[in-house]
Amino acid sequence: MVRAYIFIEAHKARDLKVEEEIAALPGVKQADVVTGRFDVIAMVEVDELGALWDLVDKIQALPAVVKTTTNVVVQR
């Protein structure tokens, strides 16, 4: 199991829509609109690293997404 946090920058005024779209993707356990440098943070769990990169690709393909930063959990 691979767990990661994906930090998402979105076009302003679209972050609520982006959060809803991200939360609906398979593998996304939680997505929240936040304050600060990023607009949305998603916690994801997938079976393997390749599935994580596929999920990141889907998030980056959303029209309102400007940039993502992915942090993989290395120890729990």
Q: Domain containing 10 — which CATH number? A: 3.30.70.920
The number of distinct structural domains making up the chain is 1
pLDDT value of position 23: 97
For residue 14, pLDDT beyond 80: no
pLDDT value of position 58: 98
pLDDT value of position 75: 86
Say whether 11 sits in a helix, a strand or coil. Answer: coil
- What's the whole-number mean pLDDT along residues 1-28? 91
Q: Find the domain containing 31 and state its range.
A: 2-72
Closest CA to 9 of 73, 60, 52, 44: 60
pLDDT value of position 12: 76
Both tokens of 8, joined, read 């998402």
pLDDT value of position 11: 87
